Chains A and B, each alone.
Chain A
Amino acid sequence: MSADFLFGVEVLLNGLMAGVMYSLVALGFVLIFKASGIFNYAQGVMALFAAQTLVGIQTGLIPFSHLINAMLGTKIHHFGWNVPTFIAILITIGIMVLFAIIVEKLILKHLVNQEPIILFMATIGLAYFLEGFGDLMWGAEIKKLDVGIPQGGNLWIEESTAFLGGDDFYGFYLDTLDIYATVIAVILVASLILFSQYTKTGRALRAVADDHQAALSVGISLRTIWVIVWSIAGFVALVAGVMWGAKSGVQFSLSLIALKALPVLMLGGFTSIPGAIIGGLIIGVGEKLFEFLIGAPFLGGATENWFAYMLALVFLIFRPQGLFGEKIIERV
């Protein structure tokens, strides 16, 4: 096989791995949107907050230490212990569930039956609040996140695929962290789908997504479902935050991964779980291949920054409801 072709395959694989992560982030949006009609602007900040919390607990940071020090004149920062990763993850999950309960109690409960735009505005407020709260709780500096997954090119894959090409092909270069992230995201997405298809709570989730009135009439409590959905979204945010955070540090820019989910949602439709998955893969592969085939050789590169949005725009013109979204038919 020619080296060019193999490089193309390598680009494709990397695109698929990036795509799985986009799918995961988009899934967080879709879950909440389906269950409550809310476009959750805070999804990205939730990922940041979850990652901050995980690092904070793991490294034994004292929450609100800056605030405490400023008020009491103390100089405390660390508890002086490290919490094992697994336990820190469990505690973080607990905190995200608590967050879901608080969101329901303080916001959603009071805004039932409001216009979507009002709910959207509420999540904008929530996003800024959570961003500030996260910084206040754990400090705003960039933190290194280490959950024990090795980083860098995977030697084993590189060596065992080198034979595919000729002398100028050295094997596929795939980052180990990306491989882990992909496997975890695939497992997570698959279990979410299984959960929603084959358990009674999953069935209740789908029922609420379909028709609120009917769901109430069979005895489903919307508020309980909202807590569950926001908890799941919090968990998805944690996974996304950890994977991105492990790569580039836990810092504000992490919350911008939400922006990457937007074109995925436009492609896949806001209400479709398969749409979020396929949309994520198309964008992941599309932006890497476009850069490889057209961007780098002809356009001076760096097309990855805008390709997804352009693709989404083109798509919006021809199929505004997304790949799998329900057809929008206005009753007249």
Chain B
Amino acid sequence: MTDAAFQESYTTPDGRKIGDVVMEMKNISLRFGGVTAIKDISFDIREGEVRAIIGPNGAGKSSMLNVINGFYHPQEGEVWFRGEKRGPMKPYQIARQGIARTFQNIALFKGMSTLDNIMTGRLIHMNTSIASQAFWKGPAEREEIENRERVEKIIDFLEIQTIRKTPVGSLPYGLQKRVELGRALASDPSLLLLDEPMAGMNVEEKEDMSRFILDVNDEFGTTIALIEHDMGVVMDISDRVVVMDYGAKIGDGTPDEVRQDEKVIAAYLGVSHD
């Protein structure tokens, strides 16, 4: 139904340009012992779009993000990034290529302040040597200030000025999710992976988060791949949706197309999701 429809770049109804393929997953299979988490899945992510991955619990969605950012290495299949086949790479190397992420179970640096957490997102843009940081302060200090300015912008953007100095471990859940988004944004990623950015949030918090995601996509032109259970949100903010069930891909297309797909409806009937 769908793949042919997206061979070309296209323009969304609200006028954003969706460009070339940035990331292409080709026939990915991932197994953990006897468990097959991903079964022969192919899909692509295009420049500038918001790409959602949905599916019931245990469908393999998080595993897919973990493959993209290098935490998991698939037994079969190829990952193509910006027109090149990716060899075996470590997660930190992939991060340095401009792929940032958040986690389903928030993974912040709990003992550190909001500001410090978001500053870690800038590390890949900071190059002064240890010796210079320790003994010869000029360049290191300048670098620190420059990057700090960028971080302050993100803090303003996410409206979290009041918790700048608070250790994140003591923040409420919704705010922690926001700080985690801030840390990912701080690296100026070209591809942003969000694993259930709105899980456990109330309606108001979800609206805020949706707005931030759309703004990031709009203002910075960041390509976004996100996993989300809330169908309303997915339909609202995403351009294209991949549907997974039991590790396999059962649907791929615009929100409208996916919503009417029989296989997708069947997978969701009687399946509980949070």
Contacts and interface: CB of A to CB of B under 8 A. Distances in A.
B100 A211 contact: no
Given A199-B133, A207-B109, A210-B109, A218 B95 contact: yes
- Name the residue among B71, B110, B111 with the largest chain A CB count within 10 angstroms: B111
Contact of A210 (B71, B111, B119, B187): B111
A144 interface: no
Interface in A220-266: 220-222, 228
B103 interface: yes
B107 to A, nearest CB: 4
Interface in B116-133: 116, 119-124, 126, 128, 130, 133
Nearest to A217: B101
Contacts of A200: 119, 122-123, 126, 128, 133, 140, 143-144
Contacts of A198: 144
Nearest to B126: A200
A83 interface: no
Interface in A195-213: 195, 198-204, 206-207, 209-211, 213
A221 B119 contact: no
Nearest to A213: B107
Contacts of A211: 107-110
B91 interface: yes
Nearest to A197: B116
B134 interface: yes
A204 B103 CA distance: 19
Contacts of B223: none
- Name the residue among B69, B92, B126, B187 with the largest chain A CB count within 10 angstroms: B92
A3 to B, nearest CB: 46
A197 to B, nearest CB: 9
A206 B111 contact: yes
B222 to A, nearest CB: 16
Interface string B154-190: 0000000000000000000000000000011001000
A218 B134 contact: no
Contact of A218 (B111, B121, B133, B143): B121
Contacts of B111: 206, 209-210
Contact of B92 (A191, A195, A209, A219): A219
Interface in B49-72: 69, 71
Given A213-B103, A216-B91, A228 B130 contact: yes
Contacts of A202: 133
B201 interface: no
A217 B192 CA distance: 11
Interface string A73-107: 00000000000000000000000000000000000
B82 interface: no
B71 A207 contact: no
A209 B133 CA distance: 20
B96 interface: yes
B153 interface: no
B112 interface: yes
Given A199-B134, A211-B108, A228-B130, A204 B120 contact: yes
A206 B107 contact: no
A321 to B, nearest CB: 14
A296 interface: no
Contacts of B133: 195, 199-202
A218 B124 CA distance: 7
Contacts of A209: 111
Contacts of B95: 216-219
A16 to B, nearest CB: 27
Given A195-B133, A199-B134, A200-B128, A218 B116 contact: no
A211 B69 CA distance: 17
A214 interface: yes
B90 to A, nearest CB: 7
Contact of B119 (A203, A213, A216, A228): A203
A211 B128 CA distance: 24
B110 A210 contact: yes
Contacts of B120: 203-204, 207, 215, 218, 220
A228 B134 CA distance: 13
A214 B92 contact: no
A203 B108 contact: no
B110 A219 contact: no
A34 B222 CA distance: 35
Given A211-B109, A213-B103, A219 B140 contact: no
A311 to B, nearest CB: 27
6 contacts: A200-B128, A200-B143, A206-B112, A207-B109, A210-B108, A211-B110
Closest 7 CB pairs of A and B: A219-B95, A214-B107, A210-B109, A219-B124, A199-B133, A216-B91, A219-B96
Given A216-B92, A216-B95, A217-B100, 17 more contacts: A200-B119, A200-B140, A203-B112, A203-B119, A203-B120, A203-B123, A204-B123, A206-B112, A210-B111, A210-B112, A217-B95, A218-B95, A218-B183, A218-B187, A219-B92, A219-B96, A220-B123
Interface of A: 191, 195, 198-204, 206-207, 209-211, 213-222, 228
Interface of B: 69, 71, 90-93, 95-96, 100-101, 103, 107-112, 116, 119-124, 126, 128, 130, 133-134, 140, 143-144, 183-184, 187
